[in-house]
Structure 1
């Protein structure tokens, strides 16, 4: 069976953890890796629980998210990879467990993994975007955030619905001793607020993966470039400058 087909078959319920680790061995480092007191599982089991919670939300749809059929594989892939950088970013400060920059570094690792698996641009874009942004909804109304709702919506672009689902699944998959019921209620509200902001700013332009692919070698690279361009544009660059910056960034990784 082709690698891509085997990966996505393993991601459909019931999930096949052994097959997933075979396809993405980077995740083996997450086994036994403890998180913060907000988590009750090690990082690998947390990832598997996030995948399960994504499926639960797709079925129950308490957020009312409108995930298109062609977004399901990318959403499941993002659930699998969103914490892939935690093993290489774990640290402790004054007794607190931290994973500094595991979101942004994780997005770069998503590109490398998708490149190895020869995944197409759109799925790479979706997984890289959600990995880079998966923490942001929880902090978007914090006065010190660098990603308020409008900026976050622009950064997510066409993947806003998927981001809300992943964010809620990630929150529900962390049931550690410090978690309180009001934390869940607050996060549901934040996800709903994000979806409202995202829809108000839409519709969003579809990425031109074909044009991006003329400058870089693989579909996965084009998908990652599209993700980075969206992030740069959300921070204030004009579209042409954002694309140039993204292509330059990808070129530096080749």
Structure 2
């Protein structure tokens, strides 16, 4: 079967244009990575893409008509992105790109790919682990590159070279001019990397983090006595790093039972939420979990307290993510975690962890109670000696262990099936709609969790007793 390489070459020859692999395609080839998405430039890009799509029975999509970028989707889901050559030569095209490691090209010829074109020493930078912008102008032309620099540094384990860092600091406010949807997408790509915690810390030093999340800035002056220089912002960043540490070691921590629970927790964090890995959203939740502290900070009897910061923070986080065009599903999940992030610690400090308390926890959070435990542990680890992390000796880890085991191994106890609803109670107890119905249903569910109620008749009888006693 003819390869898409041969089809591209022959189609471009008919148009008398030269095709080149560029950008991530060249970079990933040099890194020895598998390729499923291919980037190509040539003159007459639309005609070339149409010809290739027609010959390969593929789908053609216009990605950006203004900049003349077209995507060919092959039947096996491989994508070929055709972009119009910028300038009259490939060297001119490469000079308009962002970073040296993206400013390389490989010519496609009938004999194969030949002769790396590398006018800015991108291969050398890639080998030495350096991310270098071609010029300060690249950040002016497209401010999203300010954020992309940190994402690429995290993704490819690169150090941003000093002059590029200075340009980012000088231009960081320009990121406010980028479309919010593009910022959201790039931020989530960053958070999906395993080294995103370090990247966020570097972004904070440059000022870029609080350009994206200006609501964080007030926390820098709050809680300095507790968290050190940087206050609550420092605590947020440490929490993200701790969540990242935990996500990388789920199979090694002692509080996750390996035989029956580990695989389920791993599947949970890998699942997509609206196309986004849940692990990325967990780190975003950690970044914002105490965002309500500055607004609620109060010294009471010589102690700095933050009463109600969870609820205030949930509201702030929801507004902030809405402004960044996060989806309703994404925003609601982060709001849920921010609102409830104190609960695992509160459960751990109680005299004992009852089945009723565990049932209420998962009734309120559902399967995302699992994420709440991981996020809360990232928060808790900022107060716990590192030597104790993951040992299941700390009270909060022991609580997480019991909650995870209950959810995955005794689901019918912590989330028992509904055996009566509001209509049943109104009919059997001759009640009108109102808050009392919700109160009675909550009591019935608690009784189910405690094993006191198992059938519909028992539930109705229990509800009658509760109603008479109130």
Q: Please, what TM-score do these two structures have when normalized by structure 2?
A: 0.39
Gap runs ≥5 in structure 2: 1-143, 145-181, 257-261, 273-277, 416-437, 445-470
Deviations 1:164-206 (A, max 9, x none): 1111110112359xxx9999711111111222233333798xx
Give the equivalent residue in structure 1 for 2:370: 161
Gap runs ≥5 in structure 1: 205-231, 239-254
Which structure has the higher relative contact order (CA within 8 Å, separation 6+)?
1
CA RMSD between the two structures: 3.2
Which is greater in Rg?
2
- Higher strand content, 1 or 2: 2
Give the equivalent residue in structure 2 for 1:89: 296
1:119 paired with 2:326, answer yes
Aligned pairs, how many? 205
Corresponding residue to 2:308 among 87, 90, 101: 101
Give the equivalent residue in structure 2 for 1:3: 183
Q: Cα 1:30–1:175, aligned 2, differ >3 Å: closer, same or farther?
A: farther
Q: Distance in 1 between matches of 2:364 and 2:345?
A: 15
In the TM superposition, residue 121 of structure 1 has moved relative to its aligned partner by 2.2
Whether the 8 Å contact between 1:172 and 1:184 is mirrored in structure 2 is no
Q: Distance in 2 between matches of 1:163 and 1:122?
A: 16
Whether the 8 Å contact between 2:392 and 2:398 is mirrored in structure 1 is no
1:139 paired with 2:319, answer no
In the TM superposition, residue 20 of structure 1 has moved relative to its aligned partner by 2.4
Q: Please, what TM-score do these two structures have when normalized by structure 1?
A: 0.70
Deviations 1:109-166 (A, max 9, x none): 1211111111012221221111111110011252599x92211111111212211111
Give the equivalent residue in structure 1 for 2:397: 188
Q: Cα 1:107–1:47, aligned 2, differ >3 Å: closer, same or farther?
A: same
SS at match of 2:290: coil
Q: Distance in 1 between matches of 2:209 and 2:406?
A: 34
Deviations 1:12-46 (A, max 9, x none): 41323233211110000111311675x55621000
- Higher helix content, 1 or 2: 1
State the 4+ residue runs in structure 1 displaced beyond 6 angstroms.
Answer: 180-184
Q: Cα 1:20–1:236, aligned 2, differ >3 Å: closer, same or farther?
A: farther
Deviations 1:82-109 (A, max 9, x none): 0010000011111121101111111111
